[in-house]
Structure formats: C-alpha cells, structure tokens
Structure 1
Amino acid sequence: MNKNNLIERKQYMQILRDLKDQHIIKVITGVRRCGKSTLLEMFADELLQSGIKPEQIQFLNFEDPDIYTIGDWKAVYDHIKVQLLPDKMNYVFLDEVQNIDVFQRLVDGLFIKKNVDLYITGSNAHLLSGELATLLTGRYIETNILPLQLAEIYDFKSKPPNLSKLETLAAYLQEGGIPEYYNQKQISQKQADKFVESVLNTIIEKDIFQRLVIKDKHNFNKIIDFVFDSVGSFVSPRSISDTLRTHGTIIDKEAVARYLDAMCDAFLIYKVPRYEIKGKGLLQTLNKYYLVDPCFRKVRLKREMSKDRPHWLENAVYFELIRRYRDVLIGKTGNLEVDFVVTDHEGYTSYYQVSWTTENPETLERELAPLNAIKDSNPKYLLTTDIDFNPVYNGIRKLNVTDWMLGNK
C-alpha cells in the first residue's frame, strides 16, 4: 500500500514489539501480498522513531533484482556482516529470504551473533522445513500473517455513511483483504482485478509449480478450480479424484493430496480437520479447506459470489477465529456438524455455528441442533447476518456477525 494509506496491523505489530531484542528469530510467513514486507517496514520505521540509528538497521528484499548482484548466501552474509555496528544491537530484516540458495546458512550465521536481532519473511511453508527447521529448532517464533480483516478495512476506508451492515459484509466477502487491491481499485475495478490475478499467478508459478516441480499443470489447475469452488464443503483427495473423474479428468488421489499440500504450503488455502467432540480426538477422513482471500476466487472463476455467500461467510469467520484463538477445528457430535470448535490461548473451549440467516424457524432449529447436542457448559455462539438484539436460546448466544467481526461483541 502507499505510505499514506498504511494500516498499522496492531495485532502483528504488538507481537514484534514484544519480541524485540529477544535472542530468537522472528519468522513472518503468509501468502504473497498480504502485508509481510509492509509490516517489517513499519516496524523498522518505528525503531527509527524510538531512537535507533539508521546504521543499526539493514533491510534486504530478496525479490529485488539488485540484491542478486551481491552474490550467493556467503556474499550476502559478508555484505551484512561488514555493516554491523560492534557495540550496538543491529536489526536485520531479510524479506523473502527463501529466494537465496542455501539461505539456511545465512540465517544461522546471523543468528549466532549476539548483537543481531533477526527478522525474516517467506511466502512458503518450506521456509521452516528441512535443514532450517533442524538448525533452528527452538530458536524461532513463527507469526503467520493474514490479509486485512474487516475491522482493519474499516480503519483504512472508514465506514461509508450510507452502507448497511449487510452491504459492508457482502462487499468484504467478495473483495477480501489484500491491501494493495484497495489502492488499485481507486484507479479502476479492472486494474484491481488484474492486480489480484497477477498475484495469484505468481503464487501458482513461484510458490507452487517451481517448488513442487509440477509438470501436469493442466490437472493442477483443475484441482485449484475445484477447491476454490468447494470452500466450506467436506472433501478428501479421494472424493476430489472421484468427482473429477466423472468429468473426464483422470488424476489419482495421491497426486491430489500432493497438490493440496502444495497449496497449503503457499498459504493459499488452509486445511481444517474434523474433531470428535465427545471422543475428544481428530478424525482421519474428510477435511475442509478455506481460501485465504475470496478475491482470488473472484478473479479465478469469474462468477458472482452472491449465491455462495453462506460458504464465504463461513470462510471469513474461520480466518477471524484463527486471528483470535490458538486452535480452530471442525466439530462433530453424533451425526451433526459444529462449524467450529475453538480453543483459546488459556486452553478454554467454545463452539461457533455460522448461518447467513435464521429468520426461518426451521433454519434456526437446524442451526441450533448441533450446539444443543453438546452437553458440556462451554460457551456456544450462533453467528448470522440477522439484526435481532442478540437473543439467547438454551444458553446459546446469537450474535450479528458483522458486529462480531468488528469487535463490537
């Protein structure tokens, strides 16, 4: 985003403030263009404002072609090392560090220096796999960055005076929270959509095809389309393979599983397993996948999303929950499904059911049934777009989902 249009990202900035000067690597991960680089830039600016001298800060973006003129990892290490102030704490930011070959040795070499406070970002989960994970076990903290939430977009745009809660939410479910999208939209909607399409293509080409060495791109694209069109539905590699087979696409379930893992590694989709509430254990069959931002589906499938709003509302609630809580799972109680089983950072459990509207008494009864079937006394919530003064049904609180997402409930 433009410097004049920056959003503080308060939650993530506070994490960096709390970890500052601690001898531990701060690893920032997340899908491309969700705001990782901007977050580090804002934190570096804050350091300057606090009295840190510019000479104590080094910021290297490894997607910048000029960086490659420095050379391999050892040359980059030497480049950084000679600029370190020996009697001061030095703040080193390595943006998209996985683009440097053998970057693990660069990171490890800097980490062992007592006067280096190290921050790295990456757009693929492979950043924390293999050798780096072995080298740095117990020596890093990962923070996964998500696109803007609804409350942050309010901060950015300010609430339009004549936009209802429902219209505000509907716009968010279609446009999502990729920050630069909103800058491009000020130019034109076409420009904004082209920007999102280019980001998605980069994710697919750089973070998936190149890293997984996928040769059958046609079938992979079929999987992407299927998953984007199945948000909020239970799927498995076998069910996807079987469904595509009926449409003439032959791809075995093992390949589907690899492709799904690759999309998760690129933070494009998030896999959520099912949890048996009574038996207190994870189930091995069928999961749900949620798309990190709905704008990717909008430009990929080029369909109106109004008919799928219930699923996209569920998608948005999932990402709001993982911003706030430690663990989020899909619940199962008997033959009934609970949309989300949540565990907070103190270990307490709560349950969430999501429905576009429950104005119809039959719909209300259906949505309350899974929560009523849970016999423990943990908090239970029903989130809808209805505006009916937050009634309580047998201990289950019904909340307006827009108010809840904005932090008003």
Structure 2
Amino acid sequence: MDSEKLKGVILDQKESMEELLTRERIIKRDTPFDLSNYLNHPNIIAVLGVRRCGKSVFSYTLLREILSTFAYINFDDYRLIEFSTSDFENLLKGFYELYGDFNYILLDEVQNVNGWERFVSSLRVNKTVILTGSNSKLLSGELATSLTGRHVDLVLFPFSFKEFLRYKGKETHDIFSIKSKSSLKRELEEYLTVGGFPETVVMGKRVLSSIINDIISKDIIFRYKVAEVNKFKTFAYSIIKYYSSEISVRRMAKMLNISTATLEKWLNGLRESYLVFMLERFSRSPKPLNSEKKVYVVDTGIINNFTVERSVSKLMENVVAIHLLRKNQLEGVSYLKEQE
C-alpha cells in the first residue's frame, strides 16, 4: 500500500473517532493502576481484552487527554485487509507527513498484521507505543522475547457495575436510604441482564448477538482455523451455559463426541479471546486436587443471551469472579470448594 492511500485511511479513522467521542457519552474507566505513569518516556503499553469492551476509546482518550498530536491507526479496517509487514515503512512515512515529528503512536488491533512484532520493537527506542488487541497471546512470541519483559500490559473488561452506574449518571455512595437501596437494586437487575459492554449499555441487549458473533467468528474460528464450525459453536455455547460451574474436559469431550485434545484447543481459544476464564480450585497442596475447573464468562449479558432459566446467585458469583480478575489482572484468583 502506498503512503497516500494510507494517509487517507489514517485521516478517515481519526475523523470517525473524533465524531464518536463528540457524539457519545464517554466515561473515565477504572483501572487497577495508573497508566499515565508509563507515558512519560519511550515504552510499550498493551491494552488487551475481549473484543468491543472499549479498548480503542480508552486508549485513544488516554492519549487525547495529554497530547494534541499523536499517530493512530486501526487495523480492524477492511481497507487494510491486504496490509503486510512491508507496508509499515509507508505507514510511518504517512504519519510523519501528516503530523511532523511525534512521540506517541496508537496501533489498534495490531495482531491483525502478521509479523508486526519487529516493527513495534523498533519503535520503542524513541517512542511510546500503545497497542490494543483482543487476544491474550498478543505479547507472546518475538515481541516478548525481544523486549524481555520491558512492556506494560493492562487487561480491560466490559463496564463494571460501578462504571455502569457512572455511565448512567447514577453513581452514588449513599446506599442507606430505602429509596437509594431500591434504585440500586433496579440498576443491578438491569446490569445482570444486559451486562457491561458499552454498546449494550447504550443501545440495549439486541446488539449482544453481534458482539458474540464477532468474538467467536473473528477471534477464534478465523484466527485458529477451526474446521468444524457448527460443532465448535455448539461447544462454545455449552461452555457459556456452564457459567459459575465446574466442568470436566474429559466428560465434555465424550458428551460432544470430540477428542480431548481438540476440546482443549477450542477451550484455549475461548480463553485467549477473553470470552471465558477457567479458574483452578484453591488448594494448599502444590498439586491440583482434580482436573475440574470452574467457568466464568466475561459478561453477564452474554450469559443471559444463551440461558433461559437464570440463577441470580450464579450470576452474582460470576460478577464477583470477574471483578476479582479485573482487579488482580487475572493473577492469583481461584475458587474455594468445601469438602463434601
């Protein structure tokens, strides 16, 4: 791709993002640590998380609040479907022609370009780079090896209940009056039903089908070249229905009539796309008690899209698990099961 065509894409995308930020209500997201501390010198910051949870807007506004000029491109664009590593030189040329000298660059959904790691690694010498991606393996491979840990990563989730209230202008610290308690319960009921994807909070639960289809089709089936598409979808929907429950990979493989190895591969795809999380049972023993793990889904709206009979207690357990994963950035979270 020549630099002139790339410049057209860059300008179109920036205009679209600015229009979005003007048109929509944008809230400050809660993060477990302050990312601004890592923006003061050349660095790589990876903002990871499930597709359509708000990574692009979060990253763009993070830079927009402190800078008047920064480079930005979103690789999840049909016009960039043929973009390859050989085009990075022209992309950089286009950025310099548009912005002159710049120190900050945002590469959105960069994992769509094979071999992006070397380009990003070279930028780190004198620029601060923010990457976004919807796959937990974004920092595996050559980038992680070449940087030897010299990067910062943040896993972003759909809105927490607190962020959900903030978006609706109903964030409150007063939960003692009968009126405030009743109002908070109504909002919690809606949150458990609709979930926290920004689009569903704005437009309602009808957009959930589109979000789920994007995650499963683009981030798993396409990326991992799944051949048995229908069987995989049956598996994925079954896993979601097991939210806040223990599963056995062997039993599920037998039930779906597929090999354990295939099921493990599919399960890894769900996990790496941040759609589901599999927690180990807590044990003081260095060895796991058994092979069972507990399933938690990234958003309760997705759960309600596939389940007819809902369990408030299980939904609340799922919300708490996701809160702990968000707060601890996926580290050190397990579940406790009392001996029967």
TM-score (norm 2): 0.82
Q: 2:230 and 2:101 mapped to 1: Cα distance?
A: 53
Q: CA RMSD in A?
A: 2.6
Q: Aligned letter for 1:327?
A: G
Partner of 1:6 in structure 2? 26
After TM superposition, give the deviation of residue 167 of structure 1 in Å. 2.7
Secondary structure at the counterpart of residue 196 of structure 1: helix
Partner of 1:381 in structure 2? none
Answering whether residue 266 of structure 2 is matched by residue 266 of structure 1, we say: no
Pick from 133, 144, 155 the counterpart of residue 133 of structure 1.
Answer: 144
Partner of 2:84 in structure 1? 72
Partner of 2:195 in structure 1? 176
Q: 1:66 and 1:206 mapped to 2: Cα distance?
A: 16
After TM superposition, give the deviation of residue 23 of structure 1 in Å. 3.3
After TM superposition, give the deviation of residue 332 of structure 1 in Å. 4.4
Partner of 2:324 in structure 1? 321
Q: Which moved more, 1:160-169 or 1:81-90?
A: 81-90
Pick from 280, 293, 301 the counterpart of residue 295 of structure 1.
Answer: 301
Pick from 108, 114, 127 the counterpart of residue 95 of structure 1.
Answer: 108
Q: Please say if residues 84 and 114 of structure 2, whose CA atoms lie closer than 8 Å, have aligned partners that are also in contact.
A: yes
Q: 1:126 to 1:324 in 2, by over 3 A?
A: closer
Q: Please say if residues 165 and 187 of structure 2, whose CA atoms lie closer than 8 Å, have aligned partners that are also in contact.
A: no
- In proportion to residue count, which structure has more strand? 1
Q: 1:22 to 1:236 in 2, by over 3 A?
A: farther
Q: 1:313 to 1:118 in 2, by over 3 A?
A: same
Q: 1:235 and 1:302 mapped to 2: Cα distance?
A: 17
Answering whether residue 47 of structure 2 is matched by residue 47 of structure 1, we say: no
Q: Please say if residues 94 and 119 of structure 1, whose CA atoms lie closer than 8 Å, have aligned partners that are also in contact.
A: yes
Q: 1:73 and 1:211 mapped to 2: Cα distance?
A: 18
Partner of 2:336 in structure 1? 331
Q: Please say if residues 77 and 110 of structure 1, whose CA atoms lie closer than 8 Å, have aligned partners that are also in contact.
A: no
Partner of 2:13 in structure 1? none
Q: 1:79 to 1:221 in 2, by over 3 A?
A: closer
TM-score (norm 1): 0.69
**Which residues in structure 2 correspond to 1:3-402 (within 5 Å)?**
3=22, 4-11=24-31, 15-48=34-67, 53-54=68-69, 57-67=70-80, 71-80=83-92, 83-84=95-96, 90-111=103-124, 113-114=125-126, 116-159=127-170, 163-185=182-204, 192-193=205-206, 195-242=207-254, 244=255, 249-277=256-284, 279=285, 282-299=288-305, 301=306, 303-305=308-310, 308-325=311-328, 326-332=331-337, 335=339
Secondary structure at the counterpart of residue 126 of structure 1: coil
Q: 2:77 and 2:27 mapped to 1: Cα distance?
A: 23
After TM superposition, give the deviation of residue 32 of structure 1 in Å. 0.6
Q: Percent identity?
A: 28
Q: 2:167 and 2:265 mapped to 1: Cα distance?
A: 38
Q: Please say if residues 275 and 281 of structure 1, whose CA atoms lie closer than 8 Å, have aligned partners that are also in contact.
A: no
Q: 1:132 and 1:283 mapped to 2: Cα distance?
A: 35
Q: Aligned letter for 2:163?
A: E
After TM superposition, give the deviation of residue 109 of structure 1 in Å. 2.2
Q: 1:110 and 1:73 mapped to 2: Cα distance?
A: 14
After TM superposition, give the deviation of residue 73 of structure 1 in Å. 2.1
Partner of 1:355 in structure 2? none
Q: 1:241 to 1:87 in 2, by over 3 A?
A: closer
After TM superposition, give the deviation of residue 234 of structure 1 in Å. 1.0
Superposed CA deviations along residues 94-141 of structure 1, whole A, max 9, x for unmatched, are 000011121112212212x32x11110101123122233322321212
Aligned residues: 309
Q: Please say if residues 50 and 135 of structure 2, whose CA atoms lie closer than 8 Å, have aligned partners that are also in contact.
A: yes
Q: Please say if residues 2 and 183 of structure 1, whose CA atoms lie closer than 8 Å, have aligned partners that are also in contact.
A: no
After TM superposition, give the deviation of residue 201 of structure 1 in Å. 0.7
After TM superposition, give the deviation of residue 62 of structure 1 in Å. 0.5
Structure 2: tracts of 5 or more residues without a match: 1-19, 172-178
After TM superposition, give the deviation of residue 89 of structure 1 in Å. 5.8
Structure 1: tracts of 5 or more residues without a match: 186-191, 337-409
